[in-house]
Structure 1
């Protein structure tokens, strides 16, 4: 078995503050792919529901999700972690492909679409929250991470989760109640 080269050793060696920057780079690029998909999904839902009560609730959340993606890019820049464009493209493509799923309707938007989009966004924000929590813990050993910024991002993610969950429940009740009435049960 060959010994690792000096460049491989330096890439795998934990950062001076105890953080394995190569692993962190993979982790943050995966989150960036998710943030890309989430920002597209949130923006699409905000446009689709514009003018409604849901649109007024989701519009600001969509703007914050886009800001959170920008914050992640800034954090990555501050840590010297390069953006892996193929992962960003994968997040973009994944979100576009998810729109092609069958929803029981060919021409019109299914009543399930909004409910499922809210569920997907809720799960995405939950994943983002986990990422912010991980970075917040790392801020204790890496001074390049700003604990105050991460606390603010965590607080905002909590508000986003609450808004999305409240509307997800409303949509589920409305859609499933309509289905139950239509079937005569």
Structure 2
């Protein structure tokens, strides 16, 4: 059932942060690829902006890990890059050209990652209350930015749904 002592295991935070760094690596690669593919489309500028912000958030996580003395685990980072590449292999009923469904699935994946990142910032906000050198103000800023990114990605996802399925959304 686990350790019944009240002493926190410092390795757990390191594992948690490295797991999120793995996801961040995959998210940066996915966001950059989506922005590149959508360059020149109406969604292109918003996706390019999202890719830059997602990269900034990854850099913020790396800095937080440095500040806390948490080493980065190379194997997990390599697995994250591999997972992003495997995620490109999806059956979408198109062999030689990009399917509109690809945008829907990719934006959903990115949205899920951004929401996971917001949970990271929220959790670290609770950790920051323990006076360990984490800045609650920085974490609040990162959390707000993640929420804004999720909202923007949802708007882009709904546009992709409209394009893929020929429907009008009921945005409101």
TM over 0.5: yes
Q: Does 1:88 align with 2:77?
A: yes
**Counterparts of 1:177 and 1:107, CA distance in 2:** 22
Which one of the candidate residues 150, 156, 162 is aligned to 1:167? 156
Partner of 2:98: 109
For residue 175 of structure 1, report the CA deviation from its aligned partner: 1.1
Question: What SS does the aligned partner of 1:53 have?
Answer: coil
For residue 13 of structure 1, report the CA deviation from its aligned partner: 9.2
Q: Does 1:118 align with 2:111?
A: no
Verify the 8 A CA contact 1:39 1:65 in the aligned structure 2.
yes
For residue 21 of structure 1, report the CA deviation from its aligned partner: 1.8
Partner of 2:26: 37
Give TM-score scaled by structure 2 length: 0.91
For residue 53 of structure 1, report the CA deviation from its aligned partner: 1.5
Q: What is the 5 A alignment of 1:146-157?
A: 146-157=135-146
Q: Does 1:135 align with 2:124?
A: yes
Give unpaired runs (5+ residues) of structure 2.
168-172
Partner of 1:67: 56
Q: Does 1:20 align with 2:9?
A: yes
**Counterparts of 1:152 and 1:20, CA distance in 2:** 27
Q: What is the 5 A alignment of 1:52-63?
A: 52-63=41-52
User: For residues 90-128 of structure 1, what are the alpha-carbon distances to aligned partners after superposition, in whole Å with 9 as ceiling and x for unaligned?
Assistant: 000000011122221111001101111110000000000
Instruction: Tell me how large the CA RMSD over aligned residues is.
Output: 1.5
Verify the 8 A CA contact 2:100 2:163 in the aligned structure 1.
no
**Counterparts of 1:145 and 1:24, CA distance in 2:** 13
Aligned residue pairs: how many? 163
Question: What SS does the aligned partner of 2:98 have?
Answer: coil
Larger radius of gyration: 1
Question: What SS does the aligned partner of 1:117 have?
Answer: helix
Question: What SS does the aligned partner of 2:124 have?
Answer: helix
Give unpaired runs (5+ residues) of structure 1.
1-11, 179-185
4+ long deviations beyond 4 Å: none
User: For residues 107-157 of structure 1, what are the alpha-carbon distances to aligned partners after superposition, in whole Å with 9 as ceiling and x for unaligned?
Assistant: 100110111111000000000000010001110003311111111101110
Q: Does 1:46 align with 2:21?
A: no
Give TM-score scaled by structure 1 length: 0.84
